[in-house]
Chains A and B, each alone.
Chain A
Amino acid sequence: MSTAIAPPRAGVKEEQPYVDPTKKRYTGRKLLGLVVVWVALWLVVKNRDTLELPFAQTTGLHTWLNDFRDSIEGSGQSNWFMKYVIGGISAALNGIITALQGLLSTAVFPRPVPEIGWLGVMALIGWVTYALAGIRSTILVLVCTFLFGVFGLWQFSIDLLIITFVAVFICVIIGLPLGILMARNQRVSAVVTPVLDLMQTMPSFAYLTPMALFFGIGPACAVAVTLVYAIPPLVRITEHGIKSVSANTIEASRSLGLTSRQLLRQVQLPMARRTIIVGVNQCTMAALSMATIAALVNGPGLGKPVVSALQTLNIGAAFVGGLAIVLMAIMLDRTTTAASERAERRGGHTDVASVGGPGVVKNIVWLERLPRWASEEGYESPPRKHLSNAGRRFAIGLLVVPVLIAVVLSRTYLSLAQFGSFENVPVLSFLSGPKLASVVNTVVRSFVDAVDTFTNGFKEVVTVWFLNPLQALIATSPWWLMALVLLAIAYFLGGWRPTLVTAVCEAVILGTGLWNDAMVTLTMTLVATLLVMIIAVVLGVGMGRSRRVDVIIRPFLDAFQTIPAFVYLVPALALFGPGRFTAIVAALVYAVSIATKLVADGIRGVSPTTVEAARSSGVTPWQMISKVQLPMAREALVLATNQGLLYVLSMVVIGGMVGGGSLGYIVVAGFSQRELFGKGLAAGLAITALGVMLDRIARHAAARYES
């Protein structure tokens, strides 16, 4: 087929830099070999040295931790650090929250109702929303808060709002200056970034127990854990926003003779305002998510009814609580987004949609980019009519009057102070808590019956084909074999650095005495991540290749990301009943949106010239995907896997609440049973070690593909 070409050597005049031809790593073959050796050895030595620890049994470390707790509780009065620093913070937080609760949500003796009744609270909330975000958000917020009352969850909802807002307030006070400092000072950034990394890598369940140890269970602890979870996104986005002010602008400003302070206040902050408000949005959503989970450490809020409903397997009640949480998420998200859009009208716009949740890759913040169509359209949308600033201020001032009247009324009439029952009101009666719960229970029961074959089939397939064999392999391998296998995987994928980290993490897990439980958790994490990646690749490729698919799917993913983690347990529990599989499904749903977005971004990021060149070579669509787009999006795929792993891990352990077993369950049990406290703390430690290990391996594997 080749034409007769006698090739005379072409004259290359260009000088080429000398480069070593790249050596092939054969990672795939090495891993395959490893698995073969592993399975062979497993057949010989399985069920030996698996380090299984029965649930009620504790190790020396656990008892020691129990004693440690006792000594800390005892030292509350004697140790100056515990008494004045931690005790002071704890007392201050508890005081603020109790005061706010007394004002807004909880009756304080001798008053039969809170200082301000529901009507007054709603008026105040509406007024604040109007001032921050405008009339549309206000209507949404008023409808949502009213529904909280109808659900019969008024007090829980307002409590959750209080916790969330106190946490966000503290986040802003600490996080904003910190982010600004990091953007302006390389050294501070270098010191703080790894700390933020760790905070985001740790699954939220892991630090519940230690926090409870210091702050005691209750509102102060709830705020503290929420703080840990919610502050990193704000700091990172603030830093990014300030740093991404164009160097040209800064140079031009400097040449005008601005001082450093003027530069910050008059150039960098105004230009980064929109991005910073996105940071506040992310911080608020994270705070809400964590404040719900904080119900486990007796934090006030909507998490409480959901936790107790989940533990009694009352799907209907859990659904109502979950619905309230989702409504609150929507209302907070819309409000902060509207506020940031308002900031955009005043100049400055952003390309940042959100930051990765637990876990950040490559030591730099991974920021979720808006696809071009989204930011372009957002930018070009025809301007709506808005009140002028003066007019808005006037309206806000004017509205103070009705708000005050509402407050006074709510202090005067009991029916306006205490949210009544709506069971006898037409239409609304269907929305009242108990009624709705029973309706949901009926519907869910019939629905679950209807799809039983499908769900059970799915459960069966995944359990029999993935979960059981993998669990058998991982959890019944002797610990030394498993440890070696993990070390080898780390080495093959990422080199000696992650291998070192893996060794340390393994030592920590061994030290906690929960090796076997950690391996079971690892199995669940791996299976769920595998499923996540299958779905993410299918959806992500579709989204990356077709704008239309992207436009249809993206809003769902956005919505999924807004919903606090906790809520995912409810539908999963309804469909699959209690058990480890439910935890896997919840983790799957929780992680799939972030992974899908990353894959889609990777596919979209493939150079259009390359795609065109491949098309002109006559590739079929399948060849385009398998030979061009997926290989070129390799880095994004690894990144998606990394994020998927961390999201899944954090959710799998939360799944311990619905019978997910292993580490997550031990953490939960640590709160309720005093003698298991030490074991719960150790489980948190093991979860962290597992998370750090998975993150490091994936991160270094990703670094290898970086160009």
Chain B
Amino acid sequence: MTEPALQVKSLWKIFGPNAEKLIGTPDLQLSRKELQTKSGHVIGVRDVSFDVAPGEVFVVMGLSGSGKSTLVRLITRLIEPTSGEVILDGQDITKLSDPALREIRRNKVSMVFQHFGLLPHRKVIDNIAFGLEVRGEGKDSRRNRAQEMVDLVGLSGYERNFPEQLSGGMQQRVGLARALAADPAVLMFDEPFSALDPLIRRDMQNEVIRLHHEVGKTMVFITHDLQEALKLGDRILIMRDGAVIQIGRPDEVVGAPADEYVRDFVSEVPKSHVLTLRWVMREATGTEAAGSPVLQASTIVRDAARAVLATHGPVRVAEGDRVVGIVDDEDILRVVVAEDAS
């Protein structure tokens, strides 16, 4: 197991005048509403812990008000956490002095915002170079680096424009390039595509997938869109009322929802697009399907369907070399048809 790129340990954020004093008192067991009526404090984030592996895309999902945007801001202390630890690059962020924190923000973590947060008085290229400028890089080196980023996100030809001359999608590309320019270890996305049209949103999601393949950064991605979460996430954290409800791979979230809330949430998802063969296979009894083709357990049902339907009789499912189960037409169709019925 490699060292996690980012570790969050029982992080709390309580808004209100005496938030620190509440930590450790039984009041914290109260629901959000109860606590608010009792003491006027609002729980933003409640005891959240998770690890993010290097190179992983970790999605935090929840409806508005669930505390996901607060959570991502706690990680870089754009909002001060009330208690808990955030460990990044071996340091506990929550204990850093202001200058040390600035160093982290300048070099280790970058963020992409829903409303872009671009500087309207600077050209695209200078917006992208902004992070490099504040950490004191020379004009030539930061221009070169910014130009690389411009090409990377497909903005070539727009370097000399001002942000407001560009469309929303293009502006977010600038935001993306600005975040990448500092070459951070971790990239944070706060609902970056929520303000965009659906088609452009899909485009940008693919762009993120492409960039992830190319630069292999660790990413923490906040969204309220389940489709987006399933599409991008290696793992998904589902939040409600500031607390973690479930953390798991997309197929785990859809296949084994932790509670009614999550079940309700994922009920509309086309299961065949998310579930893997592991979720639909039966146990292999003896040598039932000997000699049939072998598919990996991590194959998504939709991708396996053609192969399974083309074969008469069951198909073997393996994890690595070991056969762990079998699937037949019936198992595949149950997933596909069941979702039509629901």
Interface residues of A (CB under 8 A from B): 1-3, 5-14, 16-17, 19, 21-22, 607, 609-620, 623, 627-628, 631-632, 634, 707
Contact = CB atoms under 8 A, between A and B. Distances in A.
A1 B162 CA distance: 28
Given A16-B170, A609-B115, A617 B131 contact: yes
Interface in B95-110: 101-107, 109-110
B25 to A, nearest CB: 29
B210 A610 contact: no
A2 B152 contact: no
Contact of A616 (B78, B153, B173): B78
Given A16-B158, A19-B165, A609-B117, A7 B151 contact: yes
A618 B203 contact: no
A6 B211 CA distance: 11
Contact of B154 (A12, A610, A616, A634): A12
B115 to A, nearest CB: 4
28 contacts: A2-B145, A2-B183, A5-B148, A5-B215, A9-B151, A10-B152, A12-B170, A607-B115, A607-B117, A609-B114, A609-B115, A609-B117, A610-B118, A611-B117, A614-B117, A614-B119, A616-B111, A617-B110, A618-B107, A618-B135, A619-B134, A620-B134, A623-B134, A627-B134, A631-B122, A632-B120, A632-B121, A707-B164
Contacts of A3: 183, 215
A517 B99 CA distance: 54
Contacts of A22: 123, 160-162, 165
A254 B188 CA distance: 50
A5 B103 CA distance: 24
A633 to B, nearest CB: 10
Contacts of B121: 631-632, 634
Interface in B123-149: 123, 130-131, 133-135, 145, 148
Given A7-B152, A614-B130, A617-B105, A14 B116 contact: no
A620 B97 CA distance: 13
Contacts of B182: 617
A7 B178 CA distance: 16
* Interface of A (DSSP majority class): loop
A19 B102 contact: no
A21 B120 CA distance: 14
Contacts of B15: none
A6 B76 CA distance: 29
Interface in B199-229: 199-200, 203, 207, 210, 214-215
Contacts of A612: 73, 78, 113, 117
Contacts of B109: 616
A21 B160 contact: yes
B130 A1 contact: no
Interface in B143-198: 145, 148, 151-156, 158, 160-162, 164-167, 169-170, 173, 175, 178, 182-183, 188
A609 B106 CA distance: 17
A1 B183 contact: yes
Contacts of B164: 707
Given A612-B78, A617-B105, A21 B161 contact: yes
Contacts of B106: 617-618
Contacts of A634: 121
Given A3-B215, A16-B158, A617-B105, 6 more contacts: A16-B170, A609-B117, A610-B117, A616-B188, A618-B105, A632-B120
Nearest to A10: B154
Contacts of B135: 618
A19 B117 contact: no
A3 B101 CA distance: 23
Contacts of B178: 613, 617
A14 B200 contact: yes
A613 B152 contact: no
Interface centre among B123, B155, B165 (most CB of A within 10 A): B165
Contact of B148 (A2, A607, A620, A631): A2
Given A607-B115, A707-B164, A11 B154 contact: yes
Contacts of A5: 148, 152, 214-215
Contacts of A623: 134
A615 B130 CA distance: 11
Contacts of A614: 117, 119, 130, 134
A9 B173 CA distance: 13
A14 B210 contact: no
Nearest to B182: A617
A64 to B, nearest CB: 52
A647 B165 CA distance: 36
Nearest to B215: A5
A385 to B, nearest CB: 25
Nearest to A633: B121
B126 to A, nearest CB: 10
A8 B170 CA distance: 18
Contact of B167 (A6, A16, A611, A627): A16
B169 A14 contact: yes
A13 to B, nearest CB: 5
A617 B119 CA distance: 13
Interface centre among A1, A13, A612, A616 (most CB of B within 10 A): A616
Closest 9 CB pairs of A and B: A613-B117, A10-B154, A618-B105, A618-B106, A21-B160, A609-B117, A617-B131, A618-B102, A616-B111
Nearest to A621: B98
Contacts of B188: 616
A620 B135 CA distance: 10
A319 to B, nearest CB: 44
A632 B106 CA distance: 22
Contact of B78 (A8, A21, A615): A615
A261 B103 CA distance: 65
A707 B165 CA distance: 11
Contacts of B102: 618-620
B116 to A, nearest CB: 7
A106 to B, nearest CB: 59
